[in-house]
Structure 1
């Protein structure tokens, strides 16, 4: 093969390479445009879903809140985790606190989501631990709106009811608690204290060793709770990393700070023929021998 033909072959080869390279580059750019904008170079318009909000509100109202609702009080209590009058009190209080929970008209002249829909969405997510888009099947609220409702609901409840319920008992409350304990066979008992393992499903892998005990086999967080017979939980504390038993959490908790600081509620009672002025907590055998703990004793029959 002579040198002229060799030069021609080399020229043709590099032209083909350049042409092929440019084609690949154009195709890659086209694919990037498709991924970003779809099949055309124009951005896709957002799809609007008509959820028929007014019809959904009417169905929700007829099911649970009308004079003759479809669902009974027992069904309401089971599905909302509270009585109907308590739920309506929350809805009314949030409506007075935040205009977000008031019935409003949107930009198109249609009625927006009702306070019942927004509060029902939030309660269902809290009561069942469900995902934000699950409530769309019945309440017909989109995922992003459900999350927004939940955030506003939690903040509103904290502001409106925090001063009344998110606190420790005062002297009047303690007197009522003591009366309840005495009626159930535990005279002079304040409340009971105990701990539970709360499973942490999405615990990071790197942290599992700090939150996992051999007898559970899965990551858990220790929750310290003080509750009265009427389900008033006036103390709840999650132990930090490495809190694998009741004593670890107790040593980190602030449950007895008022006693240590000398500002606990005043009371007088007699137990085991001893006069005392420090309220006691009913506890099980793992707790230390503190004056504020009274443990149950097995009665062995001979």
Structure 2
């Protein structure tokens, strides 16, 4: 009888050990599951707080470019040559020469379509912006 009792006790101990290990594994899995849920929640929160891309606002580049051409660069321009000289500190023919040389040297200043599919700035607008940055250190 004592052998049978020992075998039963050993089997009970083994069963108890198996239950304890399973309970411990279940706790570990629950903890891992909680961590995964927390990470997913944090990711969802961080995605919700990202700013959405701003809408493309029409800043009337084309009308300003047209006005620039009408103000200074057409034969019967709105302002006289002296006004261009005062504003840009060079004669219009010098500006035209610089513009021609720069355009022949680098295609960056040539008017082209941007990423949205909108036609970019005129060559004159690009060059004026670049000259202002060189002269004053900022776009004015």
Q: What range is the shorter-chain TM-score in?
A: 0.5 to 0.7
- Written as runs of structure 1 = structure 2, the 5 A alignment for 1:251-270 is none
Alignment of 1:71 with 2:72, yes or no, is no
Quick check: which one's helix share is greater? 2
2:92 to 84, 93, 99: 84
Alignment of 1:46 with 2:46, yes or no, is no
Residue 81 of structure 1, CA deviation = 1.0
Could you say if the C-alpha distance between residues 41 and 49 of structure 1 is closer, same or farther in structure 2, counting changes exceeding 3 Å? Answer: same
Aligned-partner SS, 2:111: coil
Larger Rg: 2
CA distance in 1, matches of 2:53, 2:86: 38
Aligned-partner SS, 1:106: coil
Alignment of 1:110 with 2:118, yes or no, is yes
Aligned-partner SS, 2:121: coil
Residue 113 of structure 1, CA deviation = 1.1
CA distance in 2, matches of 1:44, 1:61: 38
Residue 126 of structure 1, CA deviation = 3.5
Say if 2:132 and 2:138, in contact at 8 Å, map to a contact too.
no
Say what the alpha-carbon RMSD is for the aligned residues.
2.3
CA distance in 1, matches of 2:110, 2:61: 14
Residue 42 of structure 1, CA deviation = 3.2
Residue 46 of structure 1, CA deviation = 3.0
> Aligned pairs, how many?
96
2:108 to 100, 118, 122: 100
Could you say if the C-alpha distance between residues 44 and 113 of structure 1 is closer, same or farther in structure 2, counting changes exceeding 3 Å? Answer: same
- The TM-score normalised by the length of structure 1 is 0.29
CA distance in 1, matches of 2:108, 2:128: 14
- The TM-score normalised by the length of structure 2 is 0.59
Q: Deviations over 1:177-235 (max 9, x none)?
A: xxxxxxxxxxxxxxxxxxxxxxxxxxxxxxxxxxxxxxxxxxxxxxxxxxxxxxxxxxx
